[in-house]
Amino acid sequence: MKPIDIAVVGGGASGLMAALSAGKRLGPGKVVVLEKQNRVGKKLAATGNGRCNLTNMNPEPWRYHGADVVFMRPAMSAFPPETVRKIFEGLGLMTKEEAQGKVYPTSDQASSVLDVLRLELEALGVQEKCEAGVQGLNPIRHGFELRLQGGEKVFAQRVIWAPGGQTAPNLGGDVSGLSILKALGHPVAKCFPALVQLKTPPEAVRALKGIKYEGEISIWVDGENRRTEMGEVLFTDYGLSGPPVLQLSRWASLAFQQKRPPMVEVSLGIWPEDFHTTYQRLKARARTLGQRTLQDFLTGWLNKRLGQTLVKFSGGQPFSRPCSSLSDKELRALAHLMTDWRIPVVGVQGFAQAQVTAGGLDVRAFDAKTLESRLLPGLYCAGEVLDIDGDCGGFNLQWAWASGLLAAQSACDSL
């Protein structure tokens, strides 16, 4: 059978962008996308709560993580956010920049991003082959043999490997993209969920389910502050969620990969002032509102249920006591809880709830300038399957687009 020029494994963000770029270079019938789901782009269509934060205009290196983030430099330099936006605008997608450099389609619909990609792929004559999960990859003379589910085989001169990570298994995430290349000699860094919710002891948060606060939160591992974020934190029945929690979660998730159980906790800065100022405010409030009961001591200051929980944990019991009865020790304890409430972290949610996979194919097995495998010439990798992951805010999709574009350019050049 005459081989196709390029087979793209995976119909996610990086795979679709790679196929589009290669299709423009090579023409109709030269590129095929092999997707194991019944349609391409399922995860892309769901990203950003359906809005699709498709890139970020400020992709600083510290926003990315992995064993070697310098590996990203050629792809990100060749295809920065400005270039990505121009590519999408050339496809008919209008974009807008919001706070913190986040870029969204003006339609506020993730489906718009997927639609313009698919329309262009169709116009270019790029074939989408769905329910065609790759179960084996064999190097052959002048290319590769790809064995699909059901036993069908596809022959390609070049392969762009972009199957994604393990997140969202209902949308296509699994481990096969790693296991197939691992069997061919590619080293793999251990994978764990990132950008995911934190689990805490239920008694700390159960009464606060559904309540949010806007403020500071820090992650501490073995007594060291690893990162601090600001934003809206949501209490859940299992722990904590919200954008700043997701940003911190990688350090908790990484810590729980250690053989020795770590001590992980979060510090919640519910009230923005320092301890001393907050303590003085509480002292004055106890005098002014001395006849109120402790049940309503913080009513009008914080969310009522949140305030009652903090008073309870500070030792303010029973709630029927007057506020004037609060001791100096209790006021100090309450000030600490409002400015630095420490809650143990006992785990993180799994891959099904995570936004991105940390870990993956060791980037040292690939040429950063081309994304070609050093072990299997003609094989290129892109996107989440590599040991690169980013913060929330469009950083992971920017890497997906840039790496997909570089892989396609390199594969086409080699032909």
pLDDT tens per residue across span 236-256 = 999 999 999 999 999 999 999
Bridge-based pairing of strands 102-105 and 95-97 is: antiparallel
- If you average pLDDT over residues 396-415, what whole number do you get? 98
Residue 407: partners with Cβ closer than 8 Å, 6 or more residues away:
14, 18, 160, 162, 370, 371, 380, 381, 382
CA angle 340, 344, 347 (to 5 degrees): 135
What pLDDT score does 217 carry? 98
pLDDT tens per residue across span 268-315 = 999 999 999 999 999 999 999 999 999 999 999 999 999 999 999 999
Residue 172: partners with Cβ closer than 8 Å, 6 or more residues away:
12, 35, 36, 37, 42, 43, 164
Q: How confident is the model at residue 317 (pLDDT cuts 50, 70, 90)?
A: confident
What pLDDT score does 150 carry? 86
| pLDDT of 260 above 80 | yes
CA angle 182, 186, 187 (to 5 degrees): 90
pLDDT tens per residue across span 362-395 = 999 999 999 999 999 999 999 999 999 999 999 9
Instruction: Say which residue, 258 or 287, is predicted with more confidence.
Output: 287
Longest dimension (CA), the chain: 88
Rounded CA-CA distance 415/413 in Å is 5
What pLDDT score does 6 carry? 98
How high is the mean pLDDT of the chain? 96
Q: How confident is the model at residue 1 (pLDDT cuts 50, 70, 90)?
A: low
What pLDDT score does 191 carry? 95
- If you average pLDDT over residues 44-53, what whole number do you get? 91
27: left (phi over 0), alpha (psi -120 to 50) or beta: left
Bridge-based pairing of strands 188-194 and 31-34 is: unpaired
pLDDT tens per residue across span 152-185 = 999 999 999 999 999 988 777 778 899 999 999 9
% residues pLDDT > 90 (the chain): 94
pLDDT tens per residue across span 326-367 = 999 999 999 999 999 999 999 999 999 999 999 999 999 999
**What string of DSSP letters covers 271-299?**
SSS-HHHHHHHHHHHHHHTTTSBGGGTTB
Rounded CA-CA distance 43/48 in Å is 10
- If you average pLDDT over residues 59-88, what whole number do you get? 97
Residue 208 one-letter amino acid? L
What pLDDT score does 48 carry? 85
Can you say how many angstroms the Cα of residue 96 is from the centroid of all Cα atoms in its chain?
21
pLDDT tens per residue across span 191-203 = 999 999 999 999 9
CA angle 398, 117, 91 (to 5 degrees): 90
What pLDDT score does 169 carry? 81
Bridge-based pairing of strands 188-194 and 389-390 is: unpaired
pTM of this structure: 0.94
Q: What phi and psi values does residue 294 have, to the nearest 5 degrees? A: -60, -25
What pLDDT score does 54 carry? 97
Q: How crowded is residue 44: how many other Cβ atoms within 10 Å of its Cβ?
A: 25
Decide: 34 and 148 in contact? Cβ < 8 Å.
yes
Q: How crowded is residue 184: how many other Cβ atoms within 10 Å of its Cβ?
A: 15
Bridge-based pairing of strands 4-9 and 153-161 is: parallel
Instruction: Say which residue, 3 or 77, is predicted with more confidence.
Output: 77
